[in-house]
Chain A
Amino acid sequence: MIENVSIYELLTLTTILFFIGLYGFLTRKNLLTMLLSIELLLNASVINFVVINKYLYPDVLQGVYFSIFIIAVAAAETALAISIIINLYRLKTSVDVAETETMKY
């Protein structure tokens, strides 16, 4: 609970964050930037968890715990994604998303 800040304002913030992330994921060509956009998407949802927990069910802690889980999983996923990107770079000397199209059909 933050003084003078309503749940609507916070949810508006996370929604904006979410769509920024989605836009970045859909339009960027650089794989690293796309990874950053995914982090934005995740963070938007993490904030949602905390906010909804705090504002609607202040006497329980599930949302908070869940957000910690998500952060841990996101860290692992980021490490994996970066290792994939590094391998791709070694193979193609590029981190452009257009280079990953070889596995179609």
Chain B
Amino acid sequence: MNFSYTIFILIIPIATFLLLGFFYNRIKPAVSGWIGVTALSVVAGLSYYTAYQYFFNVGKIDGKFQTFFGFQANWMNFTENLRIDMGILLDPISIMMLVVVSTISLMAHIYSRGYMKGDRGYTKFFAFLSLFTFAMMGLVVATNLFQIYIFWELVGVSSYLLIGFYYEKPSAVAAAKKAFIVTRFADLGFLIGILLMGYYGGSFDFMELNNPEGPAIMNWASTSFMGLSVITWALILMFVGGAGKSAMLPFHIWLPDAMEGPTPVSALIHAATMVVAGVYLVARMFPMFHFVEDGFALHVVAWVGAISSLFAAFIALTQKDIKRVLAFSTMSQIGYMMLALGVSKYDGHEGLGYMASMWHLFTHAMFKALLFLGAGSVIHAVHSNYLKDMGGLRKYMPITNITFLIAALSISGFPLTAGFFSKDEILVAAFEHNKAIYFITLFVAGLTAFYMFRLYFGIFWGKKKEYEHTPHESPWSMTIPLLFLAFMSIATGYLPFSEWVTADHKALHGHIGLFSNLGVIHWDMAGIAITAGLLGIAIAWFFYKKPTDYPAKVSAAFGRLYKWAFNKFYFDEVYLFVTKQIIFKRISTPFAWFDKKVVDGTMDGIGNTTVSLSKVIKGTQSGRIQDYAFAFAGGVFVLVLIVIYMI
């Protein structure tokens, strides 16, 4: 099978970006919207076709999914083995990501035609969306660490551009800068990790690095630094980059602020695709994470994921801006994916966590994009982000109401929705390998259900509110993506994922695939998770379905803890203190003084000395030609005397 047509999955979005970017003054908004949607439809079609070919026709040879290359170019050779290539790598996870990115991006494009209508930067917005799609596609099909790094930065740039899309708002500009700087700072770790990996692992290529019998994995013990293998350090540093992009502790501070961007952007970039790049990176390097030093780096991943998911769930309970609740919920769910990878092993059924993580990535992309787009629809109707300005909207916005409910049920793990299946696999994987993480996960599942339904009841039920302008249902361009994603939020749960996406590329027995012939349902594990979810929903029902004073009482009872969570555990303040008070004031100021006074002073001194010296001696340049001639003749005369009498 020849997959060389996959290059068009990359070419079409970048061509659209260039077209819309260069001619954005000449193209009418109506046309540019259609150009974006059409291009993305073609990309999505190609991605689906690739997935169909790969999973059903040609991918599997001897019960194992093979790796294909759609395109491969040798770019830079450093040494015999160490080189940087550009290419398209097709294996189960990259094809799954192609489907995720193209689907969500297409939905965001269609939705934006309604949401961004009348905006001055309409064409520019579609151009940036295409740039982002190109960058994300390039990231997922990368064949080596350097290619993934290049596209990694490109998604960072397009994220920056889109967060700061409303550049007249100072808060949007600040949020864009914050997102860029924080992730850049984490990417420094990624870069160092890549360089260490290149030097000590001997290759940048995923196929060479991840080969379980390859030299990079076999020889990890030959180097050590501070008690750990250098390869382990490289993996941890790469995970730091991943944590920056995926908003894990302690680099999560940019994600809530990134909600300043337009809502389709939050759905596409900050919920479904870019923020899972960190998870994807760990999954991509999974054999290395697992085999090197008995998976030490993987333990780090697991615990960072677990703590982030708990931490974010606490904050999400208290936030009042609906997009911020969703942002922290995203962080919490990504923590799930990380911890599922972290507890996973490599072979056969032991690799359940890997499969669960990828499955949750897939289903989460669908329902979280739906939640964001639904929130966007609500914001579009009431012109506010705050829960206090909403309530009773179910009468005005029936489609948004139903789809939002489906997404909220899915993320809460309500039985027979997609989130239920993928979350249950994560819980099983955690239960089998790490009990402490299992209990955290279970607790977070309950919290998730509670805060999602706090949001749902707060928006669509709750208090009766008099609106100045009667809210109305959004146009079709916005509700069609909602309906499609609502369908996906249920349907993706019935995919036989455990046959397709596994760590060792061989099918395994999942726990909950209803239509998968490999599936066996373990209702004992599922029952606990369902109970946790339903409990959360029930409490939210009790608290928020009608206006009550329970929420106020409970938050008062928690007192300080509530205040801490509401203020996001003061992480922003700590960062500000460290940067402003310690780094800027104590370190940067003396350095700036040294630079200005000593370094610049030396250079200025040399310049000033030359100038003043030349002022003294410039009188000798009289400008009279005869003086010069006299000096010349006199000089010759003296030289002649010397030649004659001295030598």
A→B interface (CB under 8 Å): 22, 25-27, 97-98, 100-105
Contact = CB atoms under 8 A, between A and B. Distances in A.
B618 interface: yes
B622 A97 contact: no
B624 interface: yes
Interface string B615-634: 00010011111100110010
Given A22-B633, A26-B630, A97 B625 contact: yes
A67 B468 CA distance: 106
A23 to B, nearest CB: 10
Contacts of A104: 621-623
B621 A25 contact: no
Nearest to B627: A26
Q: Tell me which of B618, B624, B625, B633 has the highest count of chain A C-beta atoms within 10 A of its own C-beta.
A: B625
Contacts of B626: 25-27, 97
B633 A100 contact: no
Interface residues of B, number: 10
A105 B618 contact: yes
Contacts of A27: 626
Main secondary structure of the interface of B (DSSP, over half): helix
A82 B626 CA distance: 18
B629 A25 contact: yes
Interface string B375-387: 0000000000000
A100 B618 CA distance: 18
Contact of B624 (A22, A25, A98, A105): A98
A100 B623 contact: yes
A100 B625 CA distance: 8
Given A25-B629, A100-B623, A105-B621, 8 more contacts: A26-B633, A27-B626, A101-B622, A102-B623, A103-B623, A104-B621, A104-B623, A105-B623
A101 B618 contact: no
Interface in B385-399: none
Interface of B: 618, 621-626, 629-630, 633
Q: Tell me which of A26, A27, A97, A98 has the highest count of chain B C-beta atoms within 10 A of its own C-beta.
A: A26
Contacts of B621: 104-105
A105 B619 CA distance: 8
A71 B633 CA distance: 23
A97 B623 CA distance: 10
19 contacts: A22-B633, A25-B626, A25-B629, A26-B626, A26-B630, A27-B626, A97-B624, A97-B625, A97-B626, A98-B624, A100-B623, A101-B623, A101-B624, A102-B623, A103-B623, A104-B621, A104-B623, A105-B618, A105-B623
B505 to A, nearest CB: 80
A97 B622 CA distance: 13
Contacts of A105: 618, 621, 623
Closest 9 CB pairs of A and B: A104-B623, A101-B623, A26-B626, A26-B630, A104-B621, A105-B618, A101-B624, A25-B629, A26-B629
A103 B621 CA distance: 10
B387 to A, nearest CB: 76
A94 to B, nearest CB: 15
Contacts of A101: 622-624
Contacts of A97: 624-626
A104 B618 CA distance: 9
Nearest to B626: A26
Nearest to A38: B629
Contacts of A26: 626, 629-630, 633
B623 to A, nearest CB: 3
Nearest to B636: A22
Nearest to A28: B626
A104 B623 CA distance: 4
Contacts of B625: 97, 100
B44 to A, nearest CB: 73
Nearest to A98: B624
Contacts of A25: 626, 629
Q: Tell me which of B618, B621, B629 has the highest count of chain A C-beta atoms within 10 A of its own C-beta.
A: B629
A100 B627 CA distance: 13
B398 to A, nearest CB: 86
A22 B618 CA distance: 26
Contacts of B629: 25-26
Q: Tell me which of B618, B621, B623 has the highest count of chain A C-beta atoms within 10 A of its own C-beta.
A: B623
A27 B627 CA distance: 10
B329 to A, nearest CB: 74
A82 B359 CA distance: 93
Nearest to A29: B626
Q: Tell me which of B621, B622, B626 has the highest count of chain A C-beta atoms within 10 A of its own C-beta.
A: B626
Nearest to A22: B633
Nearest to B614: A105
B628 to A, nearest CB: 10
B193 to A, nearest CB: 60
Contacts of A22: 633
A101 B623 CA distance: 5
Contacts of B623: 100-105
A79 B611 CA distance: 40
B73 to A, nearest CB: 60
Contacts of B618: 105
B644 to A, nearest CB: 15
B133 to A, nearest CB: 63
A102 to B, nearest CB: 7
A103 B622 CA distance: 9
A35 B626 CA distance: 12
A100 B633 CA distance: 20
A103 B623 CA distance: 6
Nearest to A25: B629
A71 to B, nearest CB: 22
Nearest to B633: A22
A19 to B, nearest CB: 10
Contacts of A102: 623
A102 B621 CA distance: 12
A105 B616 CA distance: 12
B79 to A, nearest CB: 58
A22 to B, nearest CB: 6
A89 B618 CA distance: 28
B619 to A, nearest CB: 9
Contacts of B624: 97-98, 101
Nearest to B634: A26
A54 to B, nearest CB: 25
Nearest to B624: A101
A22 B632 CA distance: 11
Nearest to A31: B625
A98 B622 CA distance: 11
Contacts of B630: 26
Nearest to A101: B623
